[in-house]
């Protein structure tokens, strides 16, 4: 099954000063990682952000849902940002567990090392479990795919939208109760899928998986930039 790879921007408004810099969720990956894994980058991250009206140099906060190469592979694109990560995620990615080749495979050493370098420059913010990132933006621990995967709950005009990342790669993982075959703990992974759906109020229309092409097909989009703060054209359940 084809997979899409997403970088999300959360736009916020401030009552006193107007709009705030957007919060970026995940960073995608670069050309070297794409070549190494036989992937083709159809839209570089900077280009996608520019098409969405975002200057990557103006970004002040990046939420890393987890540290696999396709979600945390381009930290260097955001030199002025703080990176938000779960304690358990960085601890795992720098532990003896990654001596196992299968466990290490979805990680790239350089982005992990880059995050450690940013830690020593005070550009990393740790979260230990569920946390409130900012008004209307919540981080919820959903481990299983990785040790410290965090989903992002966003309050929008249509209700809570959950950026589930790889707690649910595809809608079918949730509806069929199937785990994507990359995880460190299968029971935890199953619970993470159900937690992500519960956080979305049980609504697939409010759940945004990490890699499902149905997101771009189902939600309003311009120039392949999906607006998940708006309802889908057709109920996601009817598209499955």
Phi, psi of 54 (to 5 degrees): -115, 125
The CATH number that domain 8-239 falls under is 3.60.15.10
Give residue 16's pLDDT.
67
Residue carrying structure tokens 């392949």: 224
Distance of CA 216 to the CA centre of its chain: 15
Give residue 209's pLDDT.
99
Give residue 13's pLDDT.
80
* Residue spans of alpha helices (H) in the chain: 31-36, 45-51, 69-72, 87-93, 101-104, 109-119, 171-175, 186-199, 214-218, 236-239
Give residue 31's pLDDT.
87
Q: Encoding tokens for residue 46?
A: 């900077």
What CA–CA distance (Å, rounded) separates 215 from 226? 7
Q: Encoding tokens for residue 110?
A: 């350089």
Give residue 22's pLDDT.
96
Each domain of the chain, given as residue ranges in start order, spans: 8-239
Regarding pTM above 0.95, the answer is yes
**Digits of tens for pLDDT over the chain (240 positions)?**
789 999 999 999 876 666 789 999 999 998 889 999 998 899 999 999 999 999 999 999 999 999 999 999 999 999 999 999 999 999 999 999 999 999 999 999 999 999 999 999 999 999 999 999 999 999 999 999 999 999 999 999 999 999 999 999 999 999 998 889 999 999 999 999 999 999 999 999 999 999 999 999 999 999 999 999 999 999 999 999
What CA–CA distance (Å, rounded) separates 54 from 49? 5
Give residue 1's pLDDT.
74
Surface-to-core class of residue 4, CB atoms within 10 Å of its CB (0-12 exposed, 13-18 middle, 19+ buried): middle
Give residue 15's pLDDT.
64
């Amino acid at each position: 099954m084809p997979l899409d790879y997403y970088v999300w921007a959360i736009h916020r408004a401030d009552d006193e000063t107007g709009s705030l810099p957007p919060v970026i969720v995940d960073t995608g990956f670069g050309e070297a990682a794409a070549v190494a894994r036989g992937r083709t980058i159809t839209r570089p991250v900077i280009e996608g952000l520019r098409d969405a009206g975002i200057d990557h140099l103006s970004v002040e906060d990046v939420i890393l849902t987890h540290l696999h190469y396709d979600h945390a592979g381009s930290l260097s694109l955001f030199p002025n940002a703080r990176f938000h990560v779960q304690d358990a995620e960085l601890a795992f990615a720098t532990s003896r567990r990654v001596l196992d080749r299968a466990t290490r495979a979805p990680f790239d050493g350089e982005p992990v090392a880059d995050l450690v370098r940013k830690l020593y420059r005070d550009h990393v913010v740790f979260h230990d479990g569920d946390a409130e990132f900012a008004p209307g933006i919540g981080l919820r621990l959903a481990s299983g795919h990785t040790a410290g995967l965090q989903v992002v709950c966003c309050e929008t005009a249509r209700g809570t939208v959950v950026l589930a990342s790889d707690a649910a790669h595809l809608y079918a993982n949730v509806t069929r109760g199937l785990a994507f075959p990359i995880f460190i703990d299968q029971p935890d992974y199953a619970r993470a899928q159900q937690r992500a759906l519960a956080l979305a109020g049980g609504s697939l229309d409010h759940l945004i998986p990490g890699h499902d092409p149905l997101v771009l097909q189902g939600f309003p989009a311009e120039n392949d930039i999906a607006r998940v703060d708006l309802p889908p054209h057709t109920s996601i359940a009817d598209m499955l």
